[in-house]
Amino acid sequence: MRPQKITISEVGPRDGLQIERRLLPAEQKIALIDRLSATGLTRIEVSAFVHPKVVPQMADAEAVFAGIMRRPGVRYAGLVMNARGAERAVAASVDDIKTGIAVSDSFNELNVRMTTEQGMRALGEIAAVAKGTRSRIVGGIATAFGCPYEGPVPIEQVHRLFAQLAGFGAPVIYLADTTGMANPASITRTIESLRARWPNQPIGLHLHNTRGLGLANALAGLELGVVDFESSIGGLGGCPFAPRAVGNICTEDFVHMAHEMGIGTGVDLDALLRVAAFTQEAVGRPLPGMVMKAGKANERHDKAAPRMKVD
Amino acid sequence: MRPQKITISEVGPRDGLQIERRLLPAEQKIALIDRLSATGLTRIEVSAFVHPKVVPQMADAEAVFAGIMRRPGVRYAGLVMNARGAERAVAASVDDIKTGIAVSDSFNELNVRMTTEQGMRALGEIAAVAKGTRSRIVGGIATAFGCPYEGPVPIEQVHRLFAQLAGFGAPVIYLADTTGMANPASITRTIESLRARWPNQPIGLHLHNTRGLGLANALAGLELGVVDFESSIGGLGGCPFAPRAVGNICTEDFVHMAHEMGIGTGVDLDALLRVAAFTQEAVGRPLPGMVMKAGKANERHDKAAPRMKVD
């Protein structure tokens, strides 16, 4: 079932930067996105069309979309939470309108000030705005593997949201492990449950590495033939509950894992590692990406070079 | 094939501390080991009986063995590389003599100043010293998934070393990913190849997280029914080639993953997290363990507590 090729959607410029302390100017975001698209990545989440007072980091969404180079074959996405956001996204000619909803009321209310029911109505309004435009809807289900307030989530609730997103003809629906609560067993269980009912709906994984399980969870997905994954350059971003914890899985570490396993990504890993270094410089803090610290597994070391003892 | 229960061997006091910059006094090592054995861990690698000039961090091996509490049901191990070390280990009444050899000549020569052939002869001498004593031989094959100097290792060479260690009646032979070059595909390939020839010899995994793949590699092992794993409290230790890179997989993160998956370890995770904090304090630097930063996945957050925005 392990796929031969996967598609990685880079979410660092949105999901990552949204939680970084340092606000980057639009020009620097544009430079980052253009460098990312030059590595062979074909899906990039550029920004979010949300209220600038609520998420000031994304207030320049239009400017960033206007400034980036639109590389052929690359789909540029914007996150949208309501009809107003969808109008802005369509006006900015985004390729993919990323939208979704959290499984739990508690999370939704704190995150977007809507209950899950209100969020589902908002999804309908977003889909109506997008209809007939060049922008397509790509779905996401947040806290799909657990809610930090409510704990385990009922699988029936995941099914309900999935049904609605599938109804919009979403080319892929990402299950998001928003705060890093998934484990390989719950990844397998959830995907198998959804596939039993929607055998033809592509399912993607949006994973966080909050408790070190990110790449193990990705492996569980790969073993089930999942080919769509979201990740963040350098492991940009963080965890809203724990200042020292990390956020999304790291794009270059995941590409490195895939290539080591013989799974193609279409991405130039060396170029990606240079973008990770650029990103680290831009945000001004050490990022959690590990391959940029240790080097690739296929790099040879010089026997004459200094080293420490090891057994 | 996924097991219901696994046995974790804690190697932090040896493999971890050996590469830490701060030298801990024997009393602090003893305190660490006694706290570890109180968590329910039943295998602890205490120290190494190697030349004190070569590895000054382990010069107090006898003192540490003499000082620790011997908790019933716990096996205390010492690393040994030659007959002289085996004599010291037997005199110190170690339960498990951990010994082994690296697959590649380059690595062996730099690490223990022996070729692989010389190392294999040394193994024979170690086994002869241990014979008839209370100390049993536990085997390890270093660089089993790749050598940082020579690259991919021939599987035939892994078979040769495995054959010799199996001949000593080792209750388990650990395949060590000494510098973090393994990936889930190579873990699977190597274990399946060895099992085809030695279907009844238990195989363990000694994993490093150098490139972020530690727990994904552990998952690949679990899927094959591997029940013996080595890890290091807090992710203590490092990488001899990259000062900013990490070393062994982190014990409490791995225990957390196992428990989340419904796999028993016999270890009290909360107690283990307290030992991780104690260890971090002792070595005086932030350790890479992630659960101690983010909290366990099953902890509920307070809705009223401050948080950052996230989607």
Residue A112, pLDDT score = 80
Cβ of B224 under 8 Å from any chain A Cβ?
no
B250 is catalytic: no
Within-domain flag for B301:
no
Residue B138, pLDDT score = 96
Residues B99-118 pLDDT 10s: 989 998 888 888 888 888 89
Within-domain flag for A43:
yes
- Average pLDDT on A49-72 reads 96
DSSP B74: P
Cβ of A54 under 8 Å from any chain B Cβ?
yes
A302's tokens = 């010089």
Residue B112, pLDDT score = 81
Within-domain flag for B307:
no
What percent of chain B shows pLDDT beyond 90? 84
Among B17, B50, B239, B292, the active-site one is B239
What percent of chain A shows pLDDT beyond 90? 84
From B17-31, B211-225, B247-261, the region with the lowest mean pLDDT: B17-31
Residue A311 has pLDDT above 90, yes or no: no
Residues B116-144 pLDDT 10s: 889 889 999 999 999 999 999 999 999 99
Contact B185 A218 (CB under 8 A): no
Residue B307, pLDDT score = 64
**Which residue type does B135 have?**
S
Residue B290, pLDDT score = 97
The boundaries of the domain holding residue B84 are 7-294
Within-domain flag for B304:
no
Within-domain flag for B49:
yes
Evaluate whether ipTM surpasses 0.85: yes
Residue A145, pLDDT score = 97
Residue A310 has pLDDT above 50, yes or no: no
- Average pLDDT on A182-186 reads 98
Cβ of B149 under 8 Å from any chain A Cβ?
yes
| Nearest chain A residue (CA) to B242 | A294
CATH number at residue B243: 3.20.20.70
Predicted confidence band of residue A307 (pLDDT cuts 50, 70, 90): low
Residue A248 has pLDDT above 60, yes or no: yes
Residue A172 has pLDDT above 50, yes or no: yes
Within-domain flag for B303:
no
Within-domain flag for B302:
no
Residue A238, pLDDT score = 87
Residue A242 has pLDDT above 60, yes or no: yes
- The answer for B 268-307 residues in CB contact with A (under 8 A) is 286, 289-291, 293-298, 300-301, 303, 305, 307
Within-domain flag for A76:
yes
Contact A310 B111 (CB under 8 A): yes
Overall pTM > 0.90: yes
- Average pLDDT on A165-181 reads 94
Specify the number of domains making up chain A. 1
